[in-house]
Structure 1
């Protein structure tokens, strides 16, 4: 998608996918794990520490915030706060059905 299609008036669903994992995640996350945020529901399993640190970004992306430092407004990344067993998530805007 392009910036024109990723910034709009309607809210988005947000899909978070683990794309990198090192060490031993306390919650057992592995590369490929996904969690979907629909605005009123969370579908999937996510460590509470990772979710807590990610919620501002999730809500901002859900409600069409534009991040000037991103080349692609449709996807962002987010690092888990556990510095000894880091995970990296991709955070995607997904159209609501």
Structure 2
């Protein structure tokens, strides 16, 4: 059993665009609650791609090129590109 590391933020991943055909079946509007210990039923390849950004957001980090509390990350399949918006929501403790 995985122990909760004490997250600062909840992260929601939303599919915002699909160019071509997503082999995992993801469609625009699909939403996943993801964390560093839960892929939220997202394609493993896409989850692997968002993981660095997810870790950053989950534990209150940010990058200068991200705007506000969301970032766009793309899956590794450049021919059938899926774009995912990550949004963080503060967890009240």
1:70 alignment counterpart: 66
2:76 corresponds, among 81, 89, 97, to 81
**Runs of at least 5 residues in structure 2 that lack an aligned partner in the other structure:** 1-6
- Post-superposition offset of 1:22: 1.3
**Runs of at least 5 residues in structure 1 that lack an aligned partner in the other structure:** 1-9
Distance verdict in 2 for CA 1:52–1:75, change over 3 Å: same
CA RMSD of aligned residues (A): 1.7
**Contact 1:79/1:89, CA 8 A, preserved across alignment:** yes
Alignment map for 1:4-83 (pairs within 5 Å) = 11-38=8-35, 40-43=37-40, 45-72=41-68, 74-83=69-78
Taking structure 2 as the reference length, what is the TM-score of the superposition? 0.82
**Contact 2:12/2:31, CA 8 A, preserved across alignment:** yes
How many residues align? The count is 86
SS at match of 1:66: coil
